[in-house]
Amino acid sequence: MFEVLTDKIGKIFSGLSNRGKLSERDIDDALRQIRLALLEADVNFRVVKDFLACVRERAIESKVLESLTPGQQVIKIVNEELINILGPEAVRLKAASKPPTIIMLVGLQGSGKTTTAAKLALHLKQSNFKVLLVAADTRRPAAIDQLVILGRQLDIPVYAEDIKSDAIRVCKNAIKRSEEIAASWVIIDTQGRLHVDEEMMKELQHMKNAVIPSEVLLVADAMMGQDAVNIADLFNKDIGLTGIILTKMDGDARGGAALSIKYVTGVPIKFLGVGEKISSLEVFYPDRLASRILGMGDVLTLIEKAEKAYDKQKMQQLEAKLKKSEFDLNDLLEQMQQIKKMGSFTQLLEMLPGFSKLTKGISDKESLDRTKKIEAIILSMTPEERGNPDIINGSRKRRIARGSGTTPSDVNQLLNQLYNIRKMARILSRGKTPRNIANFFGQ
């Protein structure tokens, strides 16, 4: 996410930070480079112009130029102005005063609307709300079938009627059904088109007038860049939006839509789709996204993901084993399986400050292949070997390698990683910190 933009801005900031004092000319040179980076990232021209004007006005103040760390001051200003463009603060879903709260999802075909409906339903379910999904895309039979299947997988009820049914009647019947089952949220998956047209807008407006939703959320494909911004502007003018869900953010290396859409349309981003998994939906926080763009990570989101994936009691048991250097291959396998629930390995690394560069050139498939290889090696071991890796000698390594389709060298590498984890745990438990963690693990 934002790989290209983050890399370019990181190099610009590195140049600023390495200088002792800064002049107005230094600031202007840096802003010129940032301008090119933003335009290449497909950020709206007006957004770039206004953003840089605000940054320059604050950056050339004497207290910045004459400070001991002018480069860091400029970075701080850029971060704050990015947050202002993106937000400036998170906007939550608005619940109706009397349940059920109705959410209408609108958007073009191919933007991921039906999948997003299921993702949003799961998000609400995890917050202990009862949700009803409504298959109101009566133009596309596959959309109804897809939503029914997703609802079954998530154990979330789906209201659907025959493909020939009137979409508005389906919605009204669904709302009655939600009252019968005491659902507090109703998510309506509406029809889409390949392009915005007058007929679609009229049908969606009639539906909105009929069901009176609390939220009308546009599902937009982030990879469309400025086209996504233009589509959002059209939908907002014709229907009236309350929020935006940007999908396919994990595949958007530029970030133009995310950086432009709120500023141009005035409609807040409420969620980000960050992967194909049904759990890959994040609440949008402007400050956290700005931090990711500037390569400073997003530790808060990482912690939230970990809290959802990990059992508190198991974490305490793991902590005790680490302190005693009793961490074994069974524990490593369990932790890897837990991490997979949190998202792709490359996405998790991007959330750690300073680690985003490690993901460069590594695809999700490559990181998944590495994980599968480690799992295969561990699963080829006997229970005794997993619990006590010290007994694994040369002949055992050869047997494990044959059973897992790997090499003895791969088995050796895994065992070395385990011993490094144990060593790191011992050092940290004594209150010491290694000088270079990346070198410590041989990265």
Over residues 70-111, the pLDDT tens digits come to 888 888 899 899 999 998 888 999 999 999 999 999 999 888
The least confident of 105-119, 181-195, 341-355, 392-406 is 341-355
Is the confidence at residue 270, as pLDDT, over 70? yes
Count other Cβ atoms within 10 Å, centred on residue 192: 23
Interatomic CA distance for residues 332 and 327, integer angstroms:
8
In a domain, residue 201? The reply is yes
Is the confidence at residue 364, as pLDDT, over 70? no
In a domain, residue 109? The reply is yes
Find, among 150, 374, 424, the residue nearest to 276 by Cα. 150
In a domain, residue 64? The reply is yes
Q: What is the CA radius of gyration of the chain?
A: 25
Residue 85 and residue 262 in contact, taking contact as beta carbons nearer than 8 Å: yes
Is the confidence at residue 440, as pLDDT, over 60? no
Interatomic CA distance for residues 190 and 207, integer angstroms:
9
Residue 23's pLDDT is 85
Instruction: Band the pLDDT of 378: cuts 50, 70, 90.
Output: very high
Interatomic CA distance for residues 231 and 195, integer angstroms:
9
Q: What is the mean pLDDT of the chain?
A: 84
Domain at 36, CATH number: 1.20.120.140
Interatomic CA distance for residues 410 and 315, integer angstroms:
28
User: For 211, what's the count of Cα atoms within 13 Å in the CB-facing half-sphere?
Assistant: 33
Q: What's the token pair of residue 144?
A: 């109804």
In a domain, residue 92? The reply is no
Residue 135's pLDDT is 94
Same domain, 127 and 232: yes
Instruction: Band the pLDDT of 199: cuts 50, 70, 90.
Output: confident
What percentage of the chain exceeds 70 in pLDDT? 82
Q: Which residues contact 35 (CB under 8 A, 6 or more apart)?
A: 48, 52
Same domain, 282 and 160: yes
Same domain, 175 and 60: no
Q: Which of 62, 86, 110 is the last residue of a domain?
A: 86
Domain that holds residue 257: 101-296
Q: Which residue has the higher pLDDT, 380 or 424?
A: 380
Q: Which residues contact 382 (CB under 8 A, 6 or more apart)?
A: none
Q: Which of 296, 328, 345 is the last residue of a domain?
A: 296
Residue 71's pLDDT is 80
In a domain, residue 196? The reply is yes
Is the confidence at residue 122, as pLDDT, over 90? yes
Burial 86-120 (b: 16+ CB within 10 A, else e): bbeeebebeeeeebbbbbbbbbbbebbbbbbbbbb
Which residues partner with 220 through β-bridges? 246
Same domain, 152 and 192: yes
Q: What's the token pair of residue 280?
A: 């890959």
Instruction: Band the pLDDT of 50: cuts 50, 70, 90.
Output: very high
Same domain, 19 and 164: no
Same domain, 286 and 402: no
Predicted TM-score (pTM) of the model is 0.73
- 147 by Cβ neighbours in 10 Å (0-12 / 13-18 / 19+) ranks as buried
Same domain, 234 and 286: yes
**Sole residue written with tokens 């040369």:** 394
Same domain, 169 and 273: yes
Domains of the chain: total: 3
In a domain, residue 93? The reply is no
- 369 by Cβ neighbours in 10 Å (0-12 / 13-18 / 19+) ranks as exposed
Is the confidence at residue 49, as pLDDT, over 90? yes
Q: Which of 296, 331, 362 is the last residue of a domain?
A: 296
Same domain, 324 and 414: yes
Same domain, 59 and 204: no
Same domain, 412 and 290: no
Q: Which residue has the higher pLDDT, 162 or 29?
A: 29
Give the total residue count for the chain.
443
Q: Is the peptide bond before 141 cis (omega within 30 degrees of 0)?
A: no
In a domain, residue 148? The reply is yes
Burial 285-317 (b: 16+ CB within 10 A, else e): bbbbbbbbbbbbbbeebbeebeeeebeeeeeee
Residue 433's pLDDT is 42
In a domain, residue 95? The reply is no
Is the confidence at residue 380, as pLDDT, over 80? yes
